[in-house]
Amino acid sequence: MKDVADKIADVVHAGPAGGPEEGVPGKPAIASPPLVEPVHPVEPLPPKADQSGPETVSPTGQPTGAEQARMAQSGAYLTTAQGVRLPDTDHSLKAGPRGPVLLQDHHLREKLMHFDHERIPERVVHARGAAAHGVFQSYGTAQGVSKAAFLAQDVETPVFVRFSTVLGSRGSADTVRDTRGFATKFYTEEGVFDLVGNNIPVFFIQDAIKFPDIIHAGKPHPDREIPQAQSAHDTFWDFVSLHTEATHHTLWNMSDRGIPRSYRMMEGFGVHTFRLVNAEGATTLVKFHWKPKLGVHSLVWEEAQIIAGVDPDFHRRDLFDAIESGAFPQWELGIQTFPDTADQMFEGIDLLDPTKIVPEELAPVKPVGLLTLNANPSNFFAEAEQVAFHTGHLVPGIDATDDPLLAGRNFSYLDTQFTRLGGPNFPQLPINRTHAPVNDMLRDGMHQTAVHRGVAPYKPNSLDGGCPFFAGADTGAFIEVPVDVPPGRKVREAPASFGDHFSQSRMFWLSMTPVEREHIIAAYTFELGKCYEQAVKERTLAVLANIDPELCAQVAAGLGLPVPAATEPLADTRPSPALSQVGRTWPLDGRVIGIVTDGAVDMTGVREVREAVLDAGMVPLVVAPAGGVLAADGDPVTVQRTFATARSVEFDALVFAGLPAAGADAHGARDAKAGAPAPTVGDPRVLALLTEAYRHGKALAGWGGAEALFEAAGISAEEPGVIVTDDARGLPQLLELLSAHRVWERFPAAM
Ligand code: HDD
């Protein structure tokens, strides 16, 4: 593990202060271009990346593999789109150096034309995201319930996963309070299967016809187009307080789940109930879960807000760095299974209602395979932007149910790609292309890149010898499972069971530990505190009264409003402990430890801590008064952050490594010789690091002047989560603290 963590330390930046190690390892240095191109360059060798193999063409006539790569980029000369070599791209063609630009400059025209059209519409929701390639290794444990080939024992399936926020635009911050998307494309041997889920197991609405309403309410106000990527505004709360089936999802958003620590530390849920079909044709209802190996962890709200400013790409960077360094994130895919009964209920829970979960205590999640993300996109646009997910992309053995939300999604995802990707041929884009042979009889259309053969793209035909042929009835997809459709009349109504909007909200609330409840109260108080409309706040309080009187009273107190009475009797429900994120311990891989040093006093101690952090599979970042390499006494230590560039939110714990005790030159005094800020405990930036980390429940350790520093910040060395030692030996205790994610005892002081 040390190697991996060591690499993360390098990738997680040399950072702005970086010394000689700056840059991303593994990436060759890019030499500055010569000012004058040689007149007769030797014929260039093929690009290094070119893995020339046999020229292959897919069944739809599209080039694949090396041929596909060659189409994107080949040769060493700059050319036009038509492949004509160019001697100059810096000057437009003019009638003399000071003369007018000539219309005949095709290169100018083509270059600007293409640039002018570089952008495509961003996704109408989930526009902001990050993605990675990986592999899914099945355990075979789902074989009894599904005949899907990728779920058979020990099958390896390539995957592409895109994580996202929902509300913000493409350039918005990662750490906003929002639901996160967790969409997985499995390139199975039987065709593409997309599991298009979220990090929250329920949804705001029960019927897809309400999707435009909830999204219009959550997006910025139509007049001012603010706020960006936020739910803390009137239109959102107006809608969810009037439309109480959104209560459960909203409560999850207001909990710590709305601000994940990392994409790597999020659960994922398929949300809907799906139907599995096994080789014998027997059916089972199922809910899909992704369980992260690193556990489920969150930011605290102040941290999330600060990060949105200091590193808006926090989650994107975290995913990229982890994968780049070899610390591949992993999730187990799990299933909860339920008998496929006529009423599609389980223990009184309506399985077709996407605002409901089935507690894991009632139906355990059985692991069926392991997802490992092991490669970053090589081109963000081509892959993360052009990937097109669809809940209707199903393979034999997995089928949809009559969940009305799912039915609408199956319609909507196909539709949205026409606008976003410009026509019906988006499945031909490399990232969307199935790894199974395609012979679909779909023809022509905008951006058709395949050169189809044959003369009879219809069935039945004799002119192409009847080709393509049908799959056997037991092997093909979209063979309808012969389940009964309940008799009824055409109505615009929901079943009575969909009318229960509060019982599971109460279950979620009761399942939270005290510190998680405090966070929820603080979140509602913050969000509603940002609203202007009194009626909206009051109506939301009335909703909260139906979840829990304490929750309602506390939020009302924060808003300075009276506490309304509940309009419904409180649900008699039991908690589901599996919903809480607090109380367990987790692996430490990839955690980031800041080692704050003055660069002089105890470099041996700094080295020891750094080594120990690496040994534990974590990432040490050395924070010093100025950048460069510290080599006072022996092996050099590279500085990754300076007092000017470090911010506490980047670290999971801080070690104050032998800083000198408070001295005469406190508060920004300067070391005359080095010209660097004096590294005393009085430096306000060090104090800010410490106090923020403390407020956010992070473990703190140190020796030397650390105790004095803690005292200066009003932190007693006796408090939980504070370790003061004589030298660098306090680390084992620190690791123990870290495995619980935060020093939970420190809340509610921190929010
Ligand atoms: Fe959706 C994107 C997840 C309901 C319509 N959705 C989108 C993405 C995720 C989800 C993860 C991003 C995919 C990507 O990374 O490209 N959506 C969900 C979940 C839902 C849900 C878990 C409820 C259980 N969605 C939902 C409904 C509708 C849509 C009810 C419309 C009726 N969703 C879309 C969309 C998007 C989309 C407009 C935007 C971009 C895209 O599809 O490709 O069609």
| Closest to 680 in 3D by CA, of 696, 698, 704, 700 | 704
pTM: 0.90
Cβ(413) – ligand 1 distance below 6 Å? yes
Distance 179 CA to ligand 1 centre (A): 12
**Catalytic residue (choose from 126, 249, 390, 696):** 126
Distance 721 CA to ligand 1 centre (A): 41
Q: Can you tell me which residue has the tokens 């299933």?
A: 335
Q: Is residue 187 domain-resident?
A: yes
Cα dist. 378→26, 159, 221, 387, 707 in Å?
13, 15, 36, 13, 47
Pairing of strands 592-596, 619-624: parallel
Q: Which atom of ligand 1 sits closest to the CA of residue 272?
A: 24
One domain, residues 270 and 369? yes
One domain, residues 544 and 641? no
Residue length of the chain: 751
Q: Is residue 735 domain-resident?
A: yes
Distance CA 622, CA 642 (A): 8
- CATH number, domain with residue 187: 2.40.180.10
Q: Is 275 annotated as a binding residue?
A: no
CA atoms within 13 A on the CB side of 607: 14
Shortest-distance Cα residue to atom 26 of ligand 1: 409
Token pair for 561: 């409003």
Are 276 and 146 contacting, i.e. CB atoms less than 8 angstroms apart? Answer: yes
Last residue in a domain, options 550, 579, 608? 579
Cβ(258) – ligand 1 distance below 6 Å? no
Are 138 and 155 contacting, i.e. CB atoms less than 8 angstroms apart? Answer: yes
One domain, residues 652 and 532? no
Name the DSSP class of 101.
B
One domain, residues 247 and 282? yes
The DSSP string of 285-342 is EEEEEEEETT---B--HHHHHHHHHH-TTHHHHHHHHHHHHT---EEEEEEEEEE--T
pLDDT of residue 678: 42
Distance 385 CA to ligand 1 centre (A): 14
For residue 372, the cross-strand partners are 135, 330
Token pair for 504: 């599971």
Cβ(703) – ligand 1 distance below 6 Å? no
Q: Is residue 6 domain-resident?
A: no
Shortest-distance Cα residue to atom 9 of ligand 1: 181
Distance 125 CA to ligand 1 centre (A): 7
Last residue in a domain, options 579, 603, 625? 579
- CATH number, domain with residue 713: 3.40.50.880
pLDDT of residue 631: 80
Distance 713 CA to ligand 1 centre (A): 46
| Closest to 679 in 3D by CA, of 605, 618, 599 | 599
pLDDT of residue 40: 42
- Testing ligand 1's pocket by substitution, the residue of 170, 267, 413, 419 carrying the most ligand atoms inside 8 A of its CB is 413
- The H or E element spanning position 544 is helix 534-545
What are the backbone angles phi and psi of residue 410, rounded to the nearest 5°?
-60, -25
- Testing ligand 1's pocket by substitution, the residue of 120, 122, 124, 125 carrying the most ligand atoms inside 8 A of its CB is 125
One domain, residues 524 and 641? no
Distance 178 CA to ligand 1 centre (A): 14
One domain, residues 614 and 547? no
Cβ(728) – ligand 1 distance below 6 Å? no
Pairing of strands 592-596, 629-630: unpaired
Q: What is the pLDDT of residues 281-295, one digit of tens each?
A: 999 999 999 999 999
Distance CA 230, CA 685 (A): 29
Q: Is residue 113 domain-resident?
A: no
One domain, residues 543 and 404? no
Last residue in a domain, options 547, 579, 611? 579
Distance 262 CA to ligand 1 centre (A): 21
One domain, residues 568 and 603? no
| Closest to 110 in 3D by CA, of 139, 86, 144, 140 | 86
Shortest-distance Cα residue to atom 25 of ligand 1: 409
Q: Would you call 126 a catalytic residue per the annotation?
A: yes
Distance CA 367, CA 333 (A): 6
Cβ(211) – ligand 1 distance below 6 Å? yes
Cβ(181) – ligand 1 distance below 6 Å? yes
Cα dist. 76→42, 50, 224, 513, 600 in Å?
10, 12, 48, 61, 49
- Testing ligand 1's pocket by substitution, the residue of 123, 257, 410 carrying the most ligand atoms inside 8 A of its CB is 123
One domain, residues 559 and 607? no
Are 165 and 178 contacting, i.e. CB atoms less than 8 angstroms apart? Answer: yes
Q: Is 261 annotated as a binding residue?
A: no
pLDDT of residue 52: 38
One domain, residues 246 and 171? yes
Q: Is residue 467 domain-resident?
A: no
- CATH number, domain with residue 524: 1.20.1370.20
One domain, residues 598 and 507? no
Are 568 and 647 contacting, i.e. CB atoms less than 8 angstroms apart? Answer: no
Are 162 and 384 contacting, i.e. CB atoms less than 8 angstroms apart? Answer: yes
Cβ(409) – ligand 1 distance below 6 Å? yes
pLDDT of residue 6: 54
Q: Can you tell me which residue has the tokens 């959550």?
A: 218
Sites in the chain below the pLDDT cut of 50: 1-2, 4-5, 11-55, 663-679, 750-751
Shortest-distance Cα residue to atom 27 of ligand 1: 409
Instruction: List all residues 6 or more positions away from 348 whose beta carbon is below 8 Å from its beta carbon.
Output: none
One domain, residues 547 and 623? no
Shortest-distance Cα residue to atom 31 of ligand 1: 409
Distance CA 324, CA 378 (A): 11
Q: Is residue 506 domain-resident?
A: yes
159: helix, coil or strand?
A: strand
Q: Is residue 330 domain-resident?
A: yes
Cβ(314) – ligand 1 distance below 6 Å? no
Give the range of the structural domain holding residue 712, as residue numbers without chain letter: 592-746
Q: Would you call 198 a catalytic residue per the annotation?
A: yes
**Catalytic residue (choose from 13, 107, 133, 198):** 198
Q: What is the pLDDT of residues 713-749, one digit of tens each?
A: 999 999 999 999 988 887 888 989 999 999 999 986 5
What are the backbone angles phi and psi of residue 162, rounded to the nearest 5°?
-120, 125
pLDDT of residue 62: 58
Count of structural domains, the chain: 3
How many helices (H) does the chain have, and how many strands (E)?
18, 22
Evaluate whether ipTM surpasses 0.90.
Answer: yes
Q: Is residue 82 domain-resident?
A: no
Three-state SS for 437-503 is CCCCCCCCCCCCCCCCCCCCCCCCCCCCCCCCCCCCCCCCCCCCCCCCCCCCCCCCCCCHHHHCCCH
